[in-house]
Structure 1
Amino acid sequence: MKVSNPLTIIAMFSGAAEVFATGALVALPQEIQAQFVYFVMLFPVLLVLIFFSILVCKPQVLYAPSDYDNQEHFLDANNLKDVITEEAEKVISDITRPGDSFETKALSKQVANSTIARLGKDVMEQIITYMQTRPDEAFTARGLGHIVNCHARTVQAYLHVLAERGLITYGKDGDTTVWQIKT
């Protein structure tokens, strides 16, 4: 079973808790059983209420980066670019003098964008380096994702960029797209 989002984890936990609680019910003394039955009935309701309160207040936390077709949307949904921008503004304002003449907001936004771009560049460099050490092998996006610890969709997007740059080539092995370094 693939655990790809928090709802799956909540469902598995709730189901396991209900099974174990029902099994433990028969081993409890008679005077505690009635109270325990109410707990067993109310526990899943409490979990559902907590889940829906999170869903209403902060729905973006229920999605992993792999749930997005474009990883930039994950960054936007979780305001990660804004957080990096704010932190860069704080650092820049701390190190600048009052007479300095440059726009801290524009500079901090540029720092945020270059940080995000750098992270993508690092992943692409890892992919190329790994493929160069194995020039006779072909790889799937999923396999490379496991190697560089990145989601297959993200790796596939980077592979397309590398193919456009002429560094790698791709083809089909049956129904599967495989990627290989150009030699």
Structure 2
Amino acid sequence: MKVSNPLTIIAIFAGLAETLATVALVKLPLEIQQIFVYFVIAFPSGIVLLFFFVLYFKNIVLYAPSDFDDQNHYLEANHIKKTLNERVDEIFSEINKNGMRLTKEEIERAKNRLGDSIDKTVAISNREKDILELLEDGPASLTSISNHVNASHQSVARSLHKLVQNGYLEQVKDASGKTTWSLGT
């Protein structure tokens, strides 16, 4: 069984540490047991606080490159946004120096819009690129798309749904009720 979810890994570690600490508690002298009990209580709380700190401030580090469809997206997600935010700060600082004043809210709104654009662009996997290339020739059914990209219907359906949500594709039903996908307008 492959465990890659960070929360599961932390839960396994904390559970194992607590179990071993409880076993060790019985074998300790009475003078030390009280101190050790406080440690056993505080340790998982500290782990949880540390996890949520990391989750809030550095959540991208919780994902491995294998969690992305294309591992290059992992690198792009980690570096493009940081570089872009630094560059946006430089540009807006220069604009403010030249006499035009922008509020912090306007600057943050611009950063968020740019970040959303990057997320949308980076989020296209190789499979999704193949689907878009296929649909340049015209509408296609789920079966023909699955055969073209050599993937299961379920994984292709997820990719199609994602592309529809991002506005790249349109889902069309003909008079007979057959569903096809075509490039978005």
Could you state the TM-score of these two structures normalised by the residue count of structure 1?
0.43
